[in-house]
A and B are shown apart, each in its own frame.
Chain A
């Protein structure tokens, strides 16, 4: 008979597809009707200013207006690591688009009209719009009062426009760089922002019911919404209930609380149900983007390819408030400091305040650009020491018992055999083409293979499984379905396998913070792992209770009983037992209905003491690896890049649903292609984005893409249920790196920046591309730290 892990593997189709295909699914943006009133935000249209006067009296008497909220209604500040973020500007405006007031009215038009009637007098303040400006000696401070803010997580260096600084120091890099037998390779890299563009913008519907706030919202993190809303309203968290309808795409954008507190305040003040939805322009202009970043990496490498020392500095633009970038400073250690064995290492990862819209989390976050910088740097090392690129990688990738940047010990050889698998995959399609070769149509051929390291975000999850008298099971968690399908595929499959029932018999309840236990949220590849592990643990308890009753009914020891096909059977004697329904009915007469609860939080892998400072986690519980290969063609007349073939070998631990993972790989790689080639955000001298909608922000279209060929690498160690790792986040990880390296290989030019838009590629080809200089990042590593 199959074991539980085997039983969980299937191409179970998602159950929400039919309603989505019929237009029947109700997303948060679809909640409406005559009982719902509509809210808008009055947002700043300057990047930096002092508020001299804010007067909402005239607006209050405008037609249809039901409530207006300002800073007086939201006394608290929130943030990650530091409470630096009030939800309304009070005395100071720090970014273009910052909310100043919220207005609810019977119609959207009335709310807009009332917003126009608000009197706002401002006095301009100097703005810092780039990280280079922010780090100048006498730069204006985005947060002059930074020392007075509540610290929510201790241990980081902060100061001036440096919101947060995380450092790693392992070994003696000075000695490594002083060696006479090393080549020193010094590289700088820069990337722009990437906008998620979920088709459902951030949206919320709030009501005040029985003395509590009820927030229906398009979020990935119901418990964060509950916590942050309570914090900024200065009310107990228990007064906030969050429920989540189907979410029309997240990609990390909805991993933060954003619109919810405004709607909650207006709902209480008006006594009405309030809908607040970002217009597409607002959604674009205030997108919590993947941040722009600037990176310098220096490596000391021996002639035979040993990396004896590495020093790197990463500047991450957090915008006007710290947000996710504060946490993400931690992840530099495990991405830029990942992939390869390092004799010694020093890293400085800094979140920098600027007067620009705040940034956030986006699928694999800074891993995407750190991998771009690291893989470009790795190719530069290979060129400098005259070593083959794959030979260098094969020689240096981390394997079993190697140590990472913070000294954590890796388990198992994963990347090296994955490289072998990629070479086998590529060998199926020999084409004899060489980098730089002209194709028959005159285009230039390029190819590259890269490796990448990311992690599965673990942390607390809770699950309850109720075994129903009809033999079905109800899974109650705080998980939400954002589109990736984890709630539709993996979770019912895991529960079904645990209880020996069909996955169609597993009812999956979406998040309601009044019904399910706390959860860190859907993101970071953690749903299958963390909620899945909690669900599996809940099933264990249900099993134990069920088998205890069945044991008496069947006069057989529990360890001789198995659950399969909705029945409890005596091991090795199919048909000998009874149905789950009968056991549940019997249990109800003895002890009551059968349910189980489960919890998970992650094993807590150890780092080397003293290596890391200012880090939220010192080691990664579940590393995850990827190897990518790309073939492309560059049109020398237009700079247009066409992807000819793209291949992925992905470490998935164990693949529960092949079709679902395929969907994530195809979608994630294509999102990475947009990032690498044409999704560009530029910030103008007003501190706002030039790309305000779909016309200017160029998303991948059907004709831009190719079918991604892939090979799932199974069997790498994982504490996830049944050996799983999350598979949805990581496909985007090394797309920018692989395309960037392939374009460098095709052109023979230095590729230091993303995106590689046609004008940038043309400039590369024509030699008009100015070499990137990041003079605000010193070659002396310690100059790039506050602790110097």
Chain B
């Protein structure tokens, strides 16, 4: 079966089992390894991507359901020179540790700031519930996000 989808504004064609999870299409077929497959059951959030603008766990998405969809991955949200506001806050506050959860964390939080330009601490925590981090204990990540007070986040 052939699936056509847009990944980071570029048209890509996938031929194969339509049940293949999007995360495997990204990582194994397109060799875009920024999206992490950690729990593979939709709990950890490390594989978050945007599908038509909405954050979704790519481990739970059969590629066959995505014909014609626009997917944005961590590779598509910024450039090496210009981070988006969420990434920049994380860098500025030096909150990254092992880094495995951060691609998903960036995808979820970037979307939050598109829909709510000045979330409070509780709103950030609620939005972060689907993104597990084993290293940081979250609060410094939230401190960093609390420093963002603009809607300069772009997808």
Chain A interface (Cβ < 8 Å from any Cβ of B) = 11, 13-14, 16-18, 20-27, 29-30, 32-33, 196-200, 246-249, 251, 280, 482-485, 659-660, 662-663, 666-671, 693-695, 699-703, 705-708
What residues of A have a CB within 8 angstroms of the CB of B40 in the complex? 280, 693
What residues of A have a CB within 8 angstroms of the CB of B58 in the complex? none
What residues of B have a CB within 8 angstroms of the CB of A29 in the complex? 33, 36
Smallest Cβ distance from A510 to chain B, in angstroms? 14
Point out the residue from A13, A25, A703 that lies within 8 Å of B129, measured CB to CB: A703
A198-B98 in contact given A21-B91, A662-B140, A701-B132 (Cβ < 8 Å): yes
Contact assessment for A16 and B100 in the assembled complex, using a CB-CB cutoff below 8 Å: no
Alpha-carbon gap, A199 to B132, bound state (A):
9
Within 8 A of A (CB), among B63-107: 73-75, 78, 80, 83, 87, 90-103, 106
What residues of B have a CB within 8 angstroms of the CB of A694 in the complex? 39, 41, 43-44, 132
What residues of B have a CB within 8 angstroms of the CB of A702 in the complex? 124-125, 128-129, 131, 138, 142
What residues of B have a CB within 8 angstroms of the CB of A693 in the complex? 39-41, 43
**B119 near A: Cβ within 8 Å?**
no
Which of B35, B96, B101, B106 has the most chain A CB within a 10 Å cutoff?
B96
What residues of B have a CB within 8 angstroms of the CB of A662 in the complex? 140
> How many residues from B make CB contacts under 8 Å with A?
53
27 contacts between A and B (CB under 8 A): A13-B92, A21-B90, A21-B102, A22-B75, A22-B78, A22-B80, A23-B32, A29-B33, A30-B27, A32-B33, A200-B100, A248-B36, A248-B98, A248-B100, A249-B134, A249-B135, A280-B39, A484-B97, A485-B97, A666-B139, A667-B136, A670-B138, A694-B39, A695-B41, A699-B132, A702-B124, A703-B126
What residues of A have a CB within 8 angstroms of the CB of B129 in the complex? 701-703
**B38 near A: Cβ within 8 Å?**
yes
Alpha-carbon gap, A11 to B78, bound state (A):
26
* Interface majority SS (helix, strand, loop, mixed), chain B: loop
Contact assessment for A663 and B97 in the assembled complex, using a CB-CB cutoff below 8 Å: yes
Contact assessment for A199 and B28 in the assembled complex, using a CB-CB cutoff below 8 Å: no
Contact assessment for B139 and A33 in the assembled complex, using a CB-CB cutoff below 8 Å: no
What residues of B have a CB within 8 angstroms of the CB of A249 in the complex? 97-98, 100, 134-135
Alpha-carbon gap, A247 to B132, bound state (A):
17
Alpha-carbon gap, A707 to B73, bound state (A):
30
For A12, the closest partner residue in chain B by CB is B94
Shortest 7 CB-CB contacts between residues of A and residues of B: A23-B34, A483-B98, A20-B99, A670-B137, A199-B100, A23-B74, A666-B137
Contact assessment for A199 and B46 in the assembled complex, using a CB-CB cutoff below 8 Å: yes
Point out the residue from B33, B44, B94, B128 that lies within 8 Å of A23, measured CB to CB: B33
Contact assessment for A199 and B38 in the assembled complex, using a CB-CB cutoff below 8 Å: yes
Alpha-carbon gap, A403 to B58, bound state (A):
57
What residues of B have a CB within 8 angstroms of the CB of A199 in the complex? 36, 38, 44, 46, 98, 100-101, 134
A20-B96 in contact given A199-B36, A699-B132 (Cβ < 8 Å): yes
Contact assessment for B138 and A16 in the assembled complex, using a CB-CB cutoff below 8 Å: no
For A673, the closest partner residue in chain B by CB is B137
Contact assessment for B139 and A706 in the assembled complex, using a CB-CB cutoff below 8 Å: yes
Smallest Cβ distance from A217 to chain B, in angstroms? 15
What residues of A have a CB within 8 angstroms of the CB of B9 in the complex? none
Contact assessment for A483 and B99 in the assembled complex, using a CB-CB cutoff below 8 Å: yes
Alpha-carbon gap, A671 to B35, bound state (A):
24
Contact assessment for B126 and A671 in the assembled complex, using a CB-CB cutoff below 8 Å: no
Contact assessment for A695 and B136 in the assembled complex, using a CB-CB cutoff below 8 Å: no
Contact assessment for A246 and B99 in the assembled complex, using a CB-CB cutoff below 8 Å: yes
In the complex, besides A22-B87, A249-B98, A484-B97, 9 extra interface pairs with C-beta distance below 8 angstroms are A17-B90, A23-B35, A24-B75, A199-B46, A199-B101, A662-B140, A670-B136, A670-B137, A702-B142
What residues of B have a CB within 8 angstroms of the CB of A251 in the complex? 134
Smallest Cβ distance from A700 to chain B, in angstroms? 7
Interface string of B20-61 (1 = CB under 8 A from A): 000000011001111110111101101000000000000000
For B138, the closest partner residue in chain A by CB is A702
What residues of B have a CB within 8 angstroms of the CB of A706 in the complex? 139
Alpha-carbon gap, A29 to B100, bound state (A):
11
Point out the residue from A23, A484, A669, A707 that lies within 8 Å of B103, measured CB to CB: A23
Contact assessment for B134 and A699 in the assembled complex, using a CB-CB cutoff below 8 Å: yes
Contact assessment for B44 and A26 in the assembled complex, using a CB-CB cutoff below 8 Å: no
Contact assessment for A483 and B97 in the assembled complex, using a CB-CB cutoff below 8 Å: yes
Alpha-carbon gap, A13 to B136, bound state (A):
15
Which of B39, B80, B106, B125 has the most chain A CB within a 10 Å cutoff?
B39
For A33, the closest partner residue in chain B by CB is B31
What residues of B have a CB within 8 angstroms of the CB of A670 in the complex? 136-138
A23-B73 in contact given A484-B97, A667-B97 (Cβ < 8 Å): yes
Alpha-carbon gap, A18 to B28, bound state (A):
23
Within 8 A of A (CB), among B114-130: 124-126, 128-129
Alpha-carbon gap, A657 to B103, bound state (A):
25
What residues of A have a CB within 8 angstroms of the CB of B92 in the complex? 13
Which of A11, A200, A663 has the most chain B CB within a 10 Å cutoff?
A663
Contact assessment for A707 and B74 in the assembled complex, using a CB-CB cutoff below 8 Å: no
Smallest Cβ distance from A752 to chain B, in angstroms? 27
Smallest Cβ distance from B122 to chain A, in angstroms? 9
Contact assessment for B137 and A667 in the assembled complex, using a CB-CB cutoff below 8 Å: yes
Alpha-carbon gap, A197 to B38, bound state (A):
10
What residues of A have a CB within 8 angstroms of the CB of B39 in the complex? 280, 693-694
For A669, the closest partner residue in chain B by CB is B137
Smallest Cβ distance from A625 to chain B, in angstroms? 21
Alpha-carbon gap, A32 to B24, bound state (A):
12
A483-B135 in contact given A20-B99, A23-B73, A663-B140 (Cβ < 8 Å): yes
Smallest Cβ distance from A366 to chain B, in angstroms? 21
Contact assessment for A18 and B80 in the assembled complex, using a CB-CB cutoff below 8 Å: yes
A22-B137 in contact given A17-B94, A663-B95 (Cβ < 8 Å): no
A200-B74 in contact given A18-B83, A695-B41, A701-B129 (Cβ < 8 Å): no
Smallest Cβ distance from B142 to chain A, in angstroms? 7
What residues of B have a CB within 8 angstroms of the CB of A20 in the complex? 96, 99, 102
Smallest Cβ distance from A667 to chain B, in angstroms? 4
What residues of A have a CB within 8 angstroms of the CB of B28 in the complex? 32
Smallest Cβ distance from B119 to chain A, in angstroms? 13
Which of A18, A21, A659 has the most chain B CB within a 10 Å cutoff?
A21
Alpha-carbon gap, A712 to B70, bound state (A):
49
What residues of A have a CB within 8 angstroms of the CB of B97 in the complex? 249, 483-485, 663, 667
Smallest Cβ distance from A498 to chain B, in angstroms? 22
What residues of A have a CB within 8 angstroms of the CB of B143 in the complex? 707
Point out the residue from B74, B101, B125, B134 that lies within 8 Å of A703, measured CB to CB: B125
